[in-house]
């Protein structure tokens, strides 16, 4: 299996934008990773396109080797930007590995820890900052 392409998707969410990467393979298995660095979506997106040549043609199941290849190429240059880019591509590769084996990623990383996860929603940034306004927003 080889990586054939890496796409980026910037998704707006009001007060914050999110950057996702989609890693494509020659076997038709795609993986999704997230690489959001607040305030630097376009910069991080450019970083994905700068580094993707290091991933294209590589086996996405050799995650540590691929991450090392990318890290070695940038050394300490790029700081948080390059590390965020590499992490996003790496997570997408874990997604590909799990799909190729027919198992959830948590099984690859040591197993399920809990049966459920509490949900969290925060919309308080869009209302007056008072207890009453927060209550009204939560009820809406």
Compute φ and ψ for 9, nearest 5 degrees: -140, 115
pTM of the model: 0.83
User: E strands of the chain, at which residues?
Assistant: 3-12, 17-25, 31-34
Rounded Cα distance, 58 and 117, in Å: 34
Please report how many Cα atoms fall inside a 13 Å half-sphere around the Cα of residue 64, on the Cβ side: 0
Rounded Cα distance, 106 and 46, in Å: 30
7-55 per-position pLDDT tens digit: 999 998 666 789 999 999 999 999 999 999 887 889 999 999 999 999 9
44-69 per-position pLDDT tens digit: 999 999 999 999 999 999 999 999 99
Q: Which CATH architecture does the domain made up of 3-113 adopt?
A: 2-Layer Sandwich (3.30)
Residue 139: both structure tokens together: 């009820």
Predicted pLDDT at 124: 61
Predicted pLDDT at 7: 98
79-118 per-position pLDDT tens digit: 889 999 999 999 999 999 999 999 999 999 999 999 998 8
């Amino acid at each position: 299996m080889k990586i054939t392409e890496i796409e980026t998707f910037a998704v707006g969410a009001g007060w914050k934008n999110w950057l996702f990467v989609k890693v494509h393979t020659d076997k038709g298995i795609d993986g999704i990773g997230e690489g959001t660095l607040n305030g630097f979506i376009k910069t991080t997106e450019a970083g994905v396109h700068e580094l993707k040549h290091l991933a294209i043609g590589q086996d996405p199941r050799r995650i540590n080797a691929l991450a090392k290849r990318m890290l070695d190429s940038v050394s300490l240059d790029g700081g948080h930007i390059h590390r965020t880019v590499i992490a996003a591509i790496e997570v997408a590769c874990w997604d590909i590995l799990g799909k190729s084996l027919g198992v959830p990623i948590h099984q690859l990383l040591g197993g399920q820890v809990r049966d459920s996860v509490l949900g969290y929603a925060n919309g308080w940034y869009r209302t007056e900052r008072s207890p009453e306004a927060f209550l009204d927003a939560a009820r809406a």
